[in-house]
Structure 1
């Protein structure tokens, strides 16, 4: 995952939002099997 998945890039540092998206996607993928 990277910041390209975000519909709009935040005006601040993209590190934390990218980590949040990655965490959410990793849980989603783990549940999918």
Structure 2
């Protein structure tokens, strides 16, 4: 895999992780560490 694909995959995982936190814990707005 190219480095760009790895970075894109990591960012996508972060987005899904944050999205699931918002869905499961809507009252818990944690600061995003990107």
TM-score normalised by structure 1 residue count: 0.58
More RCO (CA 8 Å, sep 6+) = 1
Aligned length: 22
Aligned Cα root-mean-square deviation (Å): 1.5
In the alignment, structure 2 segments of 5+ residues that lack a partner are: 25-34
Name the counterpart of 1:3: none
TM-score normalised by structure 2 residue count: 0.56
Name the counterpart of 1:6: none
- Deviation above 6 Å: which 4+ runs of structure 1? none
